[in-house]
Structure 1
Amino acid sequence: MPIDAEKAVAAEPRSTRISWDHKDVQLYHLGIGAGADPDRVDPATDPGELRYTLESRLQVLPSFATVAGAGVVGGLSSPGIDIDLAAVLHGGQSVRVHRPIPVKGSAVQSSKVAAVYDKGKAAVLVLRTEAADDEGPLWTNDAQIFVRGEGGFGGERGPSERQARPAVAPHHVVERPVRPDQALLYRLSGDWNPLHADPEFARLAGFDRPILHGLCTYGMTLKAVTDTVLGGDVTRIRSYRTRFAGVVFPGETLRIQMWTGENQVRVEVGAVERDGAPVLGDTFVEHS
């Protein structure tokens, strides 16, 4: 079997030192649409956007942790994992921050396969990365990776992320346009998959044109929630998780629906131009 679940989970974590500074943070924020908020009169100079783009006022969205270190593909080279990357789908993502991410930093990031679940027709790998600096833990990332055709080995099925949509109308609805060049800018933060830039490669993958990175949508959504519900204060965010429910094409518009509760925001995201086709589901932001 290409996936040896026991070997993969038992393998020692792989550690690497990572570092970042304000330029990395600014590039990431620009890649998820900072400075282009349609609700601002002049977004390029609006104080609410400058906290994402100007080094003297800079704060760091927790979703930056998904690009600060090694990407998902690196975790797929762990012992016990021997799979065809064409069968891989990024099914979900979660980030938990243990304290605010500094604008400039250096940390040791360790990566391991935290779990392997058997979904029948597919296997699900939970790839966990944890980062810590001299002051202690910074963040924990979990990427849920579906591997088609690798299930049926008799393993634990694992938890279900599906939850019923709230029965009441959302408390907030915002729309965020995806620029035609947004995937080209976002990929400069480290995800060089040609699926997001090369039309010929996208057609081979079954799409008529390149698609936006799921993690770009993920970041755009967290920024929208932060600005709409949390007063733009990223330090209030404790954790953020989502299930990737569909693709987004550059040039489309995200409709982001939010239901607010005690220390939690429930979110659903759809593509406006495709009658609200689901993009992110089962999405939650926990905050103080």
Structure 2
Amino acid sequence: MSLDHSLIGLPGKPHERSWTSKDALLYAIGVGAGLGDPLRELEFTTENSEGVEQKVLPTYGVLLARAPAARSLGDFDRAMLVQAEQHIELHRPLPVSGTVLVTSTVTGMYDKGSGALVEFESVAVDLAGGDPLVTARFGFFIRGEGGFGGDGGASAPWQPPGRDPDRRVVQRTRPEQALLYRLSGDRNPLHADPKVAARGGFSRPILHGPCTYGFIGRVLLHELCDSDPARFISMSGRFTAPVTPGDSLIVSIWRGDDGTASFRTAKEDGTVVIDRGRLRYRGPSMS
């Protein structure tokens, strides 16, 4: 059975997703909170520090906006699936706890030759008020599922500015980073089981793509938004190489105009792991 192309444009059944203060705290630790300045991240890692109000990392919206497709994509080895792209837009800061109703739609399946790129869009709305909270777009690459012909997909042009980065931040992931992150719900054994990782062509389990994305989003929040989630609007990037837990990540940031920035993330050996990075953010509040 090949990929089910009839899924394109077909919304899945609305999926209810709830979270608590504890879930938000666990996510923050799962994407490296506390590895930088622990005091700077108390509002994301504790709920009872004196004079500190708990807040939620914006990239937690990636997990909140996940929902099943209308039906299975097809019959293929899940060890061949890796995340290729991620975009998230926050319509308002994420509350510490709540419930959303999420609808996910397959928006495209593209033949990349060696594999297929499958793209989704998900919208999470507040269950109580019906207002949009998160819009997310996901791209997944499935090795060995290409060759079906048709559209290969198009990419928007992206080029880093021809100058040194305005900021360059280096942080090392924890050796157990994937084991922490999986507790937020992504139990794909590719990121924990050496046998499954080997079947996927990796020497050891790799870090979840959304974990790498959240790790970098946390750095960008601190560097460009003064750690204020209300200033974080949207973030996008393309995954270009896997990260192994324990790797150091180097985030290069170029400020743009009108609350925009470009970023690229690489490992110490120069291997780029997230490219085509874009962030939109608000200026500081004047109140």
TM-score when normalising by structure 1: 0.88
In the alignment, structure 1 residue 109 sits paired with structure 2 residue 102: yes
Tell me which residue corresponds to 2:137.
Answer: 142
Q: CA RMSD in A?
A: 2.0
- The one-character-per-residue Cα deviations of 1:76-117 (angstroms, maximum 9, x if unpaired) are x73664444233221111111111111111111111212222
Residues 269 and 280, structure 1, Cα contact 8 Å, conserved in 2? yes
- For residue 200 of structure 1, the aligned residue among 192, 195, 198 is 195
C-alpha displacement of 1:121: 3.8
Structure 1 equivalent of residue 267 of structure 2 = 271
User: Structure 1 residues 114, 27: closer, same or farther in 2, change over 3 A?
Assistant: same
CA contact (8 A) 1:94 1:239 kept: yes
Q: Indicate the residue corresponding to 1:254 in structure 2.
A: 249
In the TM superposition, 1:189-268 aligns within 5 A as 189-262=184-257, 263-268=259-264
Most deviating of 162-171 and 187-196: 162-171
Kept in 2, the 8 Å contact 1:132–1:138? The answer is yes
Change (3 A) 1:117 1:27: same
Offset of 1:183 from its aligned partner? 1.1
Q: Which is worse superposed, 261-270 or 151-160?
A: 151-160
Contact 2:65 2:134 in 1 (8 A): no
TM-superposed CA distance for 1:215, in Å, is 1.1
Aligned length: 275
**Contact 1:14/1:112, CA 8 A, preserved across alignment:** no
Aligned counterparts of 1:249 and 1:80: Cα–Cα separation in 2: 28
Correspondence for 1:30: 29
* Whole-Å separation in 2 of the counterparts to 1:159 and 1:62: 28
- Higher relative helix content: 1
Residue 55 of structure 1 aligns to a residue whose secondary structure is coil
Relative distance call for 1:184 and 1:87 in structure 2 (3 A) is: closer
Instruction: Report the residue type matching 1:29 in the other structure.
Output: A
Is residue 280 of structure 2 the alignment partner of residue 286 of structure 1?
Answer: yes
1:67 aligns with 2:63: yes
Determine the C-alpha separation between the residues in 2 that align with 1:268 and 1:179.
Answer: 20
Q: How far did residue 255 of structure 1 move?
A: 0.6
Task: Write the letter of the residue equivalent to 1:233.
Answer: D
Structure 1 residues 122-131 or 239-248, which shifts more?
122-131
- 1:207 & 1:150 partners in 2: Cα distance? 19
Matched with 2:45 is: 53
> What's the CA shift string for 1:117-168, capped at 9, x where partnerless?
2334432211222110133011111111122343344433322155223211
Relative to structure 1, the CA distance from residue 206 to residue 151 in structure 2 (aligned partners, 3 Å threshold; closer, same or farther) is: closer
TM-score, length of structure 2 as denominator length: 0.89
SS of 1:257 mapped into structure 2: strand
Counterpart position of 2:163:
168
Q: Using the alignment, how far apart are the partners of 1:131 and 1:269 within structure 2?
A: 28
The reply to whether residue 183 of structure 1 matches residue 206 of structure 2 is: no
- The gaps in structure 2 that reach 5 residues or longer are 283-287
The runs of at least 4 aligned residues of structure 1 exceeding 4 Å deviation read none
Counterpart of 2:161, as a letter, is P
Secondary structure of 1:103's aligned partner: coil
Q: What percent identity do the matched residue pairs reach?
A: 37
CA distance in 1, matches of 2:143, 2:198: 20
